[in-house]
């Protein structure tokens, strides 16, 4: 029997799958009040799950980077994620979130108290034709000696939420965040690329923002297609001089920015090309694994 048709989320924790929302922390959980938790986000859509293995590897690295001792290896997480995808109707757009957190300890948590959960939630991809608008945030990304920027740590995201709330108050959908010395870093939760004279330019990773898996994939695909991609320091003033601006990230993959501050942009050809290349890559590399997982999960229902 398949997953209940009305279910929107499933969770794997403590060795079993469960439907819908599941309590994960108690009043004594270290991570509940000190934010010692890491996560990753992957996607499944149209019967594919691009770079799912890399997301599973990164959450393990993030846990180790924070000082936790992960209870699951990347290969185990990948197998569980594929199993979980298979509970949903084939092609359902999903957000896949593995995470580790510290259960015990005080300010210095107990590294061996790490717990693991995997949450898979129905979540449509944004419509790329709608694009998004962005403004310059007053908030800056922290330096590596100011926060655990080497990990995908939950404690980094309240700053992103503050920047996003500020942008919403100004009537924008998103915000551009700078690094500690004032150069362009990224959007609030997506990497940033600009186009000038047929070439793509993107901030070079300097330890203050996540060098995203989708970012790296898109750069590789563009270069393989013969398109110049330059990783370098980008000044804020260059945003208004760009021919195109677009984002890369797990949630929306490749989405054009249609307005930055007062300047309007068209949904340009480079963003469209990047998205086309990404979709072709996704369907060429991961469809068989997801289809196999769906067959393997048939007849099994989360308890």
DSSP reduced 3-state for 270: helix
The Cα 299–Cα 175 span in angstroms is: 45
Indicate if 247 and 155 belong to the same structural domain: yes
Residue 302 inside a domain? The answer is: no
> How does pLDDT run across 205-237, given as a tens digit for each residue?
999 999 999 999 999 999 999 999 999 999 999
Strand partners, 194: 201, 245
Indicate if 190 and 290 belong to the same structural domain: no
Q: Helix, strand, coil shares of the chain as percentages rounded to 5?
A: 35, 30, 40
Indicate if 95 and 216 belong to the same structural domain: no
Indicate if 142 and 254 belong to the same structural domain: yes
Average pLDDT score over residue span 280-303: 70
The Cα 300–Cα 296 span in angstroms is: 8
The Cα 277–Cα 287 span in angstroms is: 16
pLDDT beyond 80 at 277: yes
Domain that holds residue 72: 9-127+285-297
What pLDDT, on the 0 to 100 scale, is given for residue 262?
97
Burial of 197 (0-12, 13-18, 19+ CB in 10 A): exposed
The Cα 67–Cα 74 span in angstroms is: 17
Indicate if 17 and 112 belong to the same structural domain: yes
Residue 273 inside a domain? The answer is: no
Residue 145 inside a domain? The answer is: yes
What pLDDT, on the 0 to 100 scale, is given for residue 1?
33
Indicate if 156 and 213 belong to the same structural domain: yes
Which residues make Cβ contacts (< 8 Å) with residue 14, sequence separation at least 6? none
Indicate if 196 and 239 belong to the same structural domain: yes
> How does pLDDT run across 123-169, given as a tens digit for each residue?
999 999 999 999 999 999 999 999 999 999 999 999 999 999 999 99
The Cα 114–Cα 65 span in angstroms is: 13
Indicate if 120 and 138 belong to the same structural domain: no
Domain of 207: which CATH number?
3.20.10.10
pLDDT beyond 70 at 48: yes
Residue 114 inside a domain? The answer is: yes
Total count of domains within the chain: 2
Indicate if 185 and 139 belong to the same structural domain: yes
Supply 158's token pair: 């309240």
Residue 272 inside a domain? The answer is: no
Indicate if 13 and 89 belong to the same structural domain: yes
Indicate if 248 and 221 belong to the same structural domain: yes
């Amino acid at each position: 029997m398949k997953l209940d048709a009305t279910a929107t989320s499933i969770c794997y924790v403590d060795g079993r799958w469960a439907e819908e929302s599941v309590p994960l922390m108690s009043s004594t959980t270290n991570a509940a009040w000190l934010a010692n938790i890491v996560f990753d986000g992957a996607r499944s859509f149209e019967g594919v799950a691009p770079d799912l293995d890399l997301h599973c590897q990164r959450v393990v690295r993030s846990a180790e980077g924070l000082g936790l001792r992960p209870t699951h290896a990347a290969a185990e997480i990948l197998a569980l994620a594929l199993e979980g995808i298979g509970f949903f109707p084939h092609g359902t757009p999903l957000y896949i979130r593995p995470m580790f957190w510290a259960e015990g300890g005080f300010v210095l948590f107990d590294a061996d108290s790490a717990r693991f959960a995997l949450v898979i939630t129905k979540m449509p991809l944004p419509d790329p034709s709608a694009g998004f608008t962005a403004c310059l945030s007053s908030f800056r990304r922290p330096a590596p000696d100011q926060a655990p920027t080497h990990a995908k740590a939950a404690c980094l995201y309240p700053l992103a939420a503050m920047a996003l709330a500020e942008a919403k108050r100004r009537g924008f959908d998103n915000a551009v965040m700078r690094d500690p010395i004032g150069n362009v870093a990224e959007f609030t939760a997506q990497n940033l690329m600009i186009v000038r004279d047929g070439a793509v330019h993107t901030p070079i990773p300097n330890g203050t923002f996540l060098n995203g898996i989708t970012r790296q994939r898109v750069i590789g695909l563009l270069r393989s297609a013969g398109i110049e991609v330059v990783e370098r320091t980008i000044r804020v003033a260059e945003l208004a001089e760009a021919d195109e601006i677009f984002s890369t990230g797990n949630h929306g993959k490749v989405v054009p920015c249609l307005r930055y501050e007062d300047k309007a942009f068209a949904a340009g050809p480079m963003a469209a090309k990047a998205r086309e290349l990404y979709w072709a890559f996704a369907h060429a590399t991961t469809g068989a694994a997801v289809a196999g997982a769906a067959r393997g999960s048939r007849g099994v229902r989360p308890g």
